[in-house]
Structure 1
């Protein structure tokens, strides 16, 4: 058919996503993106609206690829928020250990480069982190700790998640990363336990 695109948009996004994931936004030139996707500069602009718009679509592609796994892990233990956090970190660590994908996390890498991103993309990265925080916060809700403590713990869990990605890119071993995750889960459990109200005694 005349005018029909001769490429798979999702496949092109996946390939471009890997370039951004490996190199970061600033070090991912259009030539590299074109080589990865098989598209010329004009086709990239025509299909995706330029490098900045392509990057934003790759962020969404990355988030949607892994969001379902995170949500399933966090929702699998509705009465046990500690186990939910453990399951969340298990999914994160399995992704980090997957040899078929680049090291680290596209969102974590992009967050570290936020000062060099255009404002729209920087805000988009922040929104994706906020979504992750909201997801974790919901999993922690079924506990006796107060809202303020749970808000702080959700931020902590997201921070540890991003740190795991950074450490993995720096060459930390799987055993080291799992130690970090285990200590993070212990911190969450201890914090919730300390925040539990004391039982009322009657004379």
Structure 2
């Protein structure tokens, strides 16, 4: 049929996503993207508009894939925010340990490169981090802690998640990463327990 795309857009996005994930935005050349997707430069521009547009679509695809897993983990333990955070870290660590995908996290890597990204891309990355933080914040809402404490804990959990990705790219072992996640979960539990005790004392 005339005008019909002769390639799988989803598969092309997955391959491009891996290039950005492995190399970062700056080092993901059009030649590398074309080689990974099987598309020439003209076809890449025709399908996605520009490297920046392709990058944002890959960020969204990554966020959709893993965001759904985060959402499922965080909502599977209603009323138990500590277990929800533990389940969240389990998903993160499973992704890091998966040999079929690049090491680290595309969003964490892109956030680290934000100063070199175009403003629109940098803002997009920040928005994805904010979405992740809001997911965690929602899972913490069942506790009796005050709003400020819950906001700080949500930011802390996301910061640890990003740190796990960076450490994994630096060669940290699974045991080391799990130790960090375990201590982070313990910090969340201790903070919420103190908040509950204070609430009882005031009541």
Per the alignment, residue 146 of structure 1 pairs with 146
Cα displacement string for residues 48-103 of structure 1 (whole angstroms, at most 9, x for unaligned residues):
01101000000000000111110010001111000000000000000000000000
Per the alignment, residue 10 of structure 2 pairs with 10
Q: TM-score, normalised by structure 1?
A: 0.97
For residue 199 of structure 1, give the secondary structure of its aligned residue in structure 2. helix
Give, in angstroms, the shift of residue 194 of structure 1. Answer: 1.4
Unmatched segments (≥5 aa) in structure 1: none
1:4–1:168 CA distance, 2 compared to 1 (3 A)? same
Q: TM-score, normalised by structure 2?
A: 0.97
For residue 27 of structure 1, give the secondary structure of its aligned residue in structure 2. coil
Q: Distance in 1 between matches of 2:185 and 2:3?
A: 53
Aligned length, in residue pairs: 202
1:149–1:9 CA distance, 2 compared to 1 (3 A)? same
Per the alignment, residue 59 of structure 1 pairs with 59
Cα displacement string for residues 149-181 of structure 1 (whole angstroms, at most 9, x for unaligned residues):
000000000000000000000000000000000
Per the alignment, residue 199 of structure 1 pairs with 200
The aligned runs of 1:41-120 (5 Å cut-off) are: 41-120=41-120
1:72–1:164 CA distance, 2 compared to 1 (3 A)? same
Q: Distance in 1 between matches of 2:63 and 2:154?
A: 18
Q: Distance in 1 between matches of 2:11 and 2:32?
A: 16
1:162 aligns with 2:162: yes
The aligned runs of 1:164-183 (5 Å cut-off) are: 164-183=164-183
| Aligned-residue RMSD, C-alpha | 1.1
Q: Distance in 2 between matches of 1:200 and 1:41?
A: 66
Q: Distance in 2 between matches of 1:150 and 1:44?
A: 43
Q: Distance in 1 between matches of 2:50 and 2:202?
A: 66
Q: Distance in 1 between matches of 2:200 and 2:133?
A: 30
Q: Distance in 2 between matches of 1:200 and 1:183?
A: 27
Q: Distance in 2 between matches of 1:48 and 1:199?
A: 56
1:132 aligns with 2:132: yes
Give, in angstroms, the shift of residue 200 of structure 1. Answer: 5.1
Give, in angstroms, the shift of residue 199 of structure 1. Answer: 2.7
